[in-house]
Structure 1
Amino acid sequence: MVNAVCFQEKWAMPFDRHVTAEEHFFLPDGSAKKLLMMKQTARLDYLENELFRAVKLPYEDKHLSFTLFLPKKKPDSFMSLFTNQNIKAWDSAFQPKTVKLSLPRFALKGKYNVKHVLHDMGVKSVFSEADFSRMFTEDRGVSIDDVNHHTFIKVDESGTEAAAASSAEIVESALAPEVTLTANRPFFFVITDEQTTSLLFLGFVANPNE
């Protein structure tokens, strides 16, 4: 049995590919690697507190957004606070500011076995006594043996080359920034459906493109 979720959206204000440049990204162990960093200056929703700095990037579909959280302290200490409830509480505190943003291009994929996680959450009967017989033409005992979760996300300037030359982008890049946010160390992100406040994807980027 396969359950799949697919998400593909363009930024409302695409990054200009011509200003993307290599810069250092600092890994959790203190070492650094060179990555392509996307850049733009735009009017974006911004939030800063004692825990993190954050910026919200809108997609073309205005109901969807990508929120970047850059922790001020070690990511491990922030991870326990990075919950559904807290994210929704922080969401109401964002204010519009002109932000000079640098964000790495990244593409991540992973495979996780979640059978034991589900078991610890109380999902037990599906692995032993649940009745799935109506899903099959033959009358036979069936149970779920294992559960694997595959993920993939790719973030780049726009998704299409032509969007890099849009007039809106040129206008936005001329704005004088009020704050500068450079995501050159481990960060968290959330993709949200703003209309329903549903969190569609959550992630922690410690080593982009690994």
Structure 2
Amino acid sequence: QFHLFGGEERTIDMMHRQDKIPYASLGDIAAISLQFDIKGVEMMIILPRERTPEALKQTAIKYLSTHGLKSINDKLSKHRKVLALPKFKAQYKSSLKDVLKDVGLNRSFSDDAEFPRIAKQHLKISDVIHEAVLKVDEHGAEASAATSVVMNRMMGSINKPEQEIYFTVDRPFLVAIYDKQTNLPIFTGAISEVGAYEKAGEEL
């Protein structure tokens, strides 16, 4: 069961992994970090201890940055745990038009725009759309923004063992894909709701 804000419970597909997993317990959060096949890139799952929308927001502000991830990374140590993680897909789409105009690219969006190296006819930019997607299932994790993709095979199904310590992600959480050496976040997000998961047509 995944426990939503407001008390609602939702039945979801959970994946399990038994291993020695880098784990950190701070005053307001617990976190684990999972390695990717790409050297130096990891995915961190952060669980706020307080189960409220405001706590999730404040935790994101505090930890989803280079400084915040470093504060967790410095506390990570390997513990034998069983990770229970839901399959999920997070997607974000936003127009960059206003942002680009704010930094001085007004002409590119106006009738006075000129792009002679692209085409002879008159062109202008109508909009610039940025879309980011993170998909995690039993085949691995895939994160994409524009054309950049990182993926790996990391999760597997196992029988639930006895007398093990669980790290169960059964409530809203934060996720960050980051560079382990620099703590630079590559992809971050807050997952407050997990619904039915659509399987990909092709295995990663």
- TM-score normalised over the length of structure 1: 0.69
Is 2:46 aligned against 1:69? yes
CA change 1:35–1:174 in 2 (3 A) is closer
Give the equivalent residue in structure 1 for 2:104.
125
The structure that is helix-richer by fraction is 1
Identity %: 21
Give 2:15's match in structure 1, choosing from 31, 38, 60. 38
Is 2:36 aligned against 1:54? no
Following superposition, the deviation at residue 196 of structure 1 comes to 4.8
CA contact (8 A) 2:24 2:76 kept: yes
CA change 1:164–1:206 in 2 (3 A) is closer
Following superposition, the deviation at residue 140 of structure 1 comes to 4.7
Give the equivalent residue in structure 2 for 1:80.
61
What SS does the aligned partner of 1:35 have? coil
CA change 1:155–1:141 in 2 (3 A) is closer
Distance 1:79 1:197 in 2: 15
Q: Write out aligned runs for 1:1-210 (5 A).
A: 24-73=1-50, 74-84=55-65, 85-116=67-98, 118=99, 123-128=102-107, 133-138=115-120, 140=122, 142=124, 144-159=125-140, 164=156, 177=164, 179-209=165-195
Following superposition, the deviation at residue 69 of structure 1 comes to 0.2
Following superposition, the deviation at residue 197 of structure 1 comes to 3.7
Following superposition, the deviation at residue 176 of structure 1 comes to 6.0
The one-letter code of the counterpart of 2:135 is: K
What SS does the aligned partner of 1:81 have? helix
The one-letter code of the counterpart of 1:92 is: D
CA change 1:77–1:196 in 2 (3 A) is closer
> Structure 1: 5+ residue runs without aligned partners?
1-23
Deviations 1:182-207 (A, max 9, x none): 11000001112324543221111111
Paired residues, what number? 176
CA contact (8 A) 1:98 1:176 kept: no
- TM-score normalised over the length of structure 2: 0.71
Bigger Cα displacement from structure 2, 43-52 vs 192-201: 192-201
Following superposition, the deviation at residue 70 of structure 1 comes to 0.5
TM-align CA RMSD:
3.2
Give the equivalent residue in structure 2 for 1:11.
none
The runs of 4+ residues in structure 1 deviating greater than 4 Å are 129-132, 173-176
The one-letter code of the counterpart of 2:64 is: T
CA contact (8 A) 2:12 2:195 kept: no
Following superposition, the deviation at residue 94 of structure 1 comes to 0.9
CA contact (8 A) 1:43 1:98 kept: yes
Following superposition, the deviation at residue 127 of structure 1 comes to 2.7
